[in-house]
Amino acid sequence: MLVMLRLVGELTAALLRGLFTDRESLVLENLALRQQLAVWARRQQRPRLAAADRAFWIVLRSLWRGWAYALVIVKPDTVVRWHRLGFRWYWRRLSRRPRRGRPSKGQLRELVIKMATENPTWGAPRIHGELRKLGYRISETTVSRCMPRGKVRPRPDAVKLWLAFLANHKECIAAMDFFTVPTITFRLLYALLVVHHDRRHILHVNFTDHPTAAWVCQQLRDALFDEPPLRHLILDRDSKFNDSVLELLRGRGIDPVRTSFRCPWQNPVAERLIGTFRRDFLDHVIVLNEALLRRLTHDFIAYYHDDRTHLGLGKDTPARRQVEIQPAPTAKLMSEPRLGGLHHRDRWQQAA
Instruction: Encode 153-200 in three state secondary structure.
Output: CCCCHHHHHHHHHHHHCHHHEEEEEEEEEECCCCCEEEEEEEEECCCC
Percent of the chain with pLDDT over 90: 37
Residue 209 has pLDDT above 90, yes or no: yes
Residues of the chain with CATH 3.30.420.10: 157-313
- pLDDT(145) > 90: no
Which contiguous run of DSSP H or E holds residue 39?
A: helix 23-41
Helices (H) and strands (E) counted in the chain, each on its own, are 12, 7
Residue 73: strand, helix, or coil: coil
Percent of the chain with pLDDT over 70: 68
pLDDT band per the 50, 70, 90 thresholds, residue 151: very low
State pTM to two decimals.
Answer: 0.60
> β-strand 232-235 against 255-258: which pairing, if any?
parallel
CATH class of the domain at 157-313 = alpha beta
